[in-house]
Amino acid sequence: MEKTKVAIVGMGTVGAGVAKLLLDHGDRTARHAGRTMWLERVVVRDTKKTRRVDLPSGVLTDNLSDVTSDPEIKVVAQLIGGLEPARSIMLELLESGKDVVTANKALLAEHGGELFDRARDLGRSIAFEASVAGGIPIITSISQCLSANAITSLRGILNGTSNFIVTRMEESGAAFEDCVREAQELGYAEADPTMDVDGSDAAQKLAILSHLAFGVRIHWADIPRQGINDIETADIRYADEMGYRMKLLATAQLTDSGLQMRVAPMLIRKGKPLAEVRGAFNAVSVVGDAVGRVFFHGQGAGQMPTASAVVADMIDLAVGRTQLTFRTLELFSQAEARVEVCPSDEALSRFYFRFTVDDHPGVLGQMASILGGHKISIASVIQHEREGDAPVVPLVVMTDLANESAAAAALQEINELPTVSRGGVRFRVTD
Ligand code: NAP
Ligand code: HSE
């Protein structure tokens, strides 16, 4: 059988999973590729470090030129995180004639334009299915399978770590920091988990998907974003009491004025598909004008789900499928935007507010009057009895539809009341 030599650069969580699939399931990959996918080299920084996979002798090297100078290695999975040296290594691989697979969304969201242009100039291809939603084939689905559609809406849970943390907090009341540590141990989190919990990772993925789905050109940092680090266990409990779950949602909605984009924790009514996505699972709900709503669900982080997407990309490159579409698809092209991004300030939503207030007569009335002054109607209120001698009580308000700027202004005004002892929090609510 014909043999395609492949290599891996970076042998962390994902790299080890890719090596396992190639080494332990060669029959499977050969059947789908119509050739043996032969793991020739694995490049690491430190060849002495213990790795989570047994490699055949002679495969491990700390010298990238063992890959770049070997013309028989055609496909390389570049699985190191961060921007540098990931960017330089990617360029070096492309210059040396390799087709490259990456799972690094931070790199694509920051330098996608440069890398894709260079690949096109060199006649090379980049495959990046694993960069968004781990094992879910969302890149191929949006850029190829749904190409007959005008996509009008995209809503997703795109960060496995955040969803894992919020699920753990909800199920067991575990502390935020403990859940972050657990997500790191399980291999879900980025090397610096700040990007996971502050919404940056989800914004990078939303920027990539929206580029493909809508043809917008937006830098991920310009997407309004809020992370799960603003959520307290109390919010998860109150959401539950009102029939909702907290989820970090990434949304892109086409409107008459352009594309509204946002990453933020939101309350979603229990029973809705996105509300029931648990643990490190991801999900994406896409609406196309011909197909209607399509829902994708699967493991969005973790070693083997991510390796599943990387190896499929390696096979597609080895057989030449990716090369057929890479040049023609509008992937990270510098072409003019088809759709402009519009401010999301005037987007209507219901809101959840939680305030910590003095337990005095008239406090609830003051708040109701401020909300009313901003034309925000109250849908429901929760105020439990004061616990013990505590001088303050939490007050939770759920509103009817209101616009973003009115909700922000009302929150600021309420926070200035002398009876409000801690800054209130505000989250969007979606049915
Ligand atoms: P990781 O466990 O931190 O592994 C990264 C590996 O890259 C480490 O083994 C590191 O080496 C290696 N490395 C760094 N610089 C290198 C260099 N100059 N030469 C060779 N190796 C180098 O990260 P990961 O979780 O596997 O993630 C890899 C990429 O996949 C990231 O971009 C991440 O965002 C993306 N991703 C991860 C997941 C997931 O669930 N983990 C899911 C989807 C996408 P040392 O071992 O020597 O430190
Ligand atoms: N850290 C990322 C997450 C990995 O938790 O979703 C998958 O991209």
Secondary structure class of 265 (helix, strand, coil): strand
Q: What class is the 138-299 domain?
A: alpha beta
Predicted pLDDT of residue 32: 95
The pLDDT of residue 399 is above 80:
yes
Q: Name, in order, each residue with C-beta under 8 angstroms of 139's C-beta and a sequence gap of 6 or more.
A: 128, 129, 131, 132, 208, 209, 212
DSSP track, 72-132: TEEEEEE---SSTTHHHHHHHHHHTT-EEEE--HHHHHHHHHHHHHHHHHHT--EE-GGGT
Mean pLDDT of 340-354: 88
What is the CATH code of the structural domain delimited by 3-134+305-329?
3.40.50.720
Tokens describing residue 336: 């003019």
Residue minimizing CA distance to atom 7 of ligand 2: 301
Predicted pLDDT of residue 290: 98
Q: Which of ligand 2's atoms lies nearest the C-alpha of 161?
A: 5
Tokens describing residue 396: 């939770």
Scanning the structure block, which residue is given the tokens 């196309």? 288
Per mean pLDDT, which range of 26-40, 221-235, 340-354 is the poorest? Answer: 340-354
End-to-end CA distance of the chain: 54
**How do residues 273-324 score in pLDDT, each as one tens digit?**
999 999 999 999 999 999 999 999 999 999 999 999 999 999 999 999 999 9
Domain(s) labelled CATH 3.30.70.260 in the chain stretch across 347-430
Catalytic-residue membership of 20: no
Domain(s) labelled CATH 3.40.50.720 in the chain stretch across 3-134+305-329
Q: Does the Cβ of 165 fall within 6 Å of ligand 2?
A: no
Cut 0.85: pTM above it: yes
Task: Give the containing element (helix H, strand E) for 161.
Answer: helix 160-172
Predicted pLDDT of residue 360: 85
| pLDDT tier at 89, thresholds 50, 70, 90 | very high
**How do residues 130-186 score in pLDDT, each as one tens digit?**
999 999 999 999 999 999 999 999 999 999 999 999 999 999 989 999 999 999 999
The pLDDT of residue 376 is above 70:
yes
- If one residue of 107, 188, 220, 304 were mutated to test the ligand 2 pocket, choosing by the most ligand atoms within 8 A of its CB, it would be 188
Helices (H), 270-385: 303-319, 321-326, 363-373
**How do residues 218-243 score in pLDDT, each as one tens digit?**
999 999 999 999 899 999 999 999 99
Chain-centroid distance, C-alpha 407: 26
Q: Which of ligand 2's atoms lies nearest the C-alpha of 162?
A: 5
What is the CATH code of the structural domain delimited by 347-430?
3.30.70.260
Work out the widest C-alpha separation in the chain, in whole angstroms: 82
Ligand 1 neighbours, Cβ below 6 Å, are 9-15, 43-46, 49, 79-81, 85, 103-104, 130, 134, 187-188, 190-191, 301-302, 306
Query: Residue 194: nearest ligand to its CA?
Result: 2
